[in-house]
Amino acid sequence: MKKVFIINLGIVFFILISLELLANFLKLSDLRGIEKGLIDTNHAIHKTIPGSSGVQFGKRIFIDKYGFRSPRENYDYNNSNDSVFIIGDSVTFGNGVDEDKIFVGRLRKEFKNINFYNTAVPGYNLKHFKYNLKEIDNFKNINKIFYFITFNDVYGGKSIVQLNKNDSIKKNLLSLNIIPNKINAFLRNKSYLYMLILGIVTDPSKRYFQTILNFYQNQNLDAFKDYLLVLKNKALKNDIELKIIILPYEYQTRKCIEKNFIPQEKIANIISNLKIDFSDYTKEFCKIKKPKNLFLKFDPMHLSPQGHNLVFNLIRNKI
């Protein structure tokens, strides 16, 4: 009996390993997670650590001396060049995509005589954007600001980054969940098969969008309006051209029906009333034959290399 059990266990283990290798080889899913040593939480807001390097969403990333994502180690800028200041969250940061394939990286290669300061960091929202506006004063020759909106920007609470400051409190309150949470975090960062099964069973794109849609239907966007006003005034004061880009969620592009575009409508209305130049790329995403390919697999909003390429082609004439 014991021998049969060991043989069966070995067969199951072999099947799982084979399926894992197959899921990896065919790229049926994408990994998640941020390696330790990339995020500093010992400030008013969390930041990427200047000069650091590590694996995030399965890709090696590099952070420059200012704390911005860059193409390589020891990347430097030309202070005599015109500069573009880019604001955003993990979508603009480029989770899960090599830097030279995200739209910021492609702009960097296309316009070699322009500095692109990508201030986007995973987990950022209005609170972080507003705090970081003072960074503009640290750079010369900034003539344009681009703010790339994703709909979870309106959240003012805890971000997707797991901050360490409250870990001891969480451990006392959620001690029963520590082991399952650690297992989940490990598998999300290491197993393509786990992410494939999780994506098929739970449809995270649908769940995330329904939560966002409910927020936009039932909450006001006063904090968002206040931030845009501060951003606009900052740009005017420094004689900088401001452009805002609205990016869709993956679930919205499945059928592209009007009732799912409430977030875009509310955001566009606020921006228009503030007389800020903006573009909504939702319809451009909907024109693509298979818009799902514009996003990471089973991901609510993060763009794939194809998605970044689309944004690059849409924005290149605005630089």
Task: Indicate if 25 and 154 belong to the same structural domain.
Answer: no
Domain count, the chain: 2
Query: Does residue 284 share a domain with residue 241?
Result: yes
Residue pLDDT tens, the chain, 319 long: 677 667 666 666 666 676 666 656 556 666 667 778 899 988 889 999 999 999 998 899 999 999 999 999 999 999 999 999 999 999 999 999 999 999 999 999 999 999 999 999 999 999 999 999 999 999 989 999 999 999 999 875 444 444 344 444 344 444 456 666 666 666 666 676 666 677 677 789 999 999 999 999 999 999 999 999 999 999 999 999 999 999 999 999 999 999 999 999 999 999 999 999 999 999 999 999 999 999 999 899 999 999 999 999 999 999 9
16 and 70 assigned to the same domain: no
Same domain, 12 and 111: no
Instruction: Identify whether 170 is part of a domain.
Output: no
SS3 call for 177: helix
Locate 122 and state its tokens.
Answer: 């995973």
Query: Could you tell me if residue 22 is inside a domain?
Result: yes
Distance CA 127, CA 3 (A): 59
Q: Does 250 share its domain with 120? A: yes
**What's the whole-model pTM score?**
0.87
The closest alpha carbon to 69, from 51, 45, 43, 57, belongs to 51
- Answer whether residue 195 is part of any domain: no
Give, rounded to a whole angstrom, the gap between the first and last alpha carbons of the chain.
Answer: 70
Domain span holding position 221: 39-160+202-318
Instruction: Identify whether residues 147 and 214 lie together within a single domain.
Output: yes
In a domain, 124, yes or no: yes
Confirm whether 179 is domain-assigned.
no
91 shares its domain with 155: yes
Same structural domain, 251 and 217? yes
Does 79 fall in a domain?
A: yes
Angle between helices 178-190 and 192-202 (to 10 degrees): 110
* Residue 175 lies inside a defined structural domain of this protein: no
Residue 143 shares a structural domain with residue 25: no
Q: Using an 8 Å Cβ cutoff, are 120 and 89 in contact?
A: yes
Q: Does residue 294 lie within any of the structural domains?
A: yes
Instruction: Evaluate the CA torsion angle 274, 277, 282, 283 in order and state its sign.
Output: positive
What are the Cα distances from residue 209, in Å, to 68, 158, 249, 259?
A: 28, 18, 7, 12
* Secondary structure letter of residue 175 according to DSSP: G
Are 142 and 72 part of one and the same domain?
A: yes
Q: State which amino acid sits at residue 37.
A: G
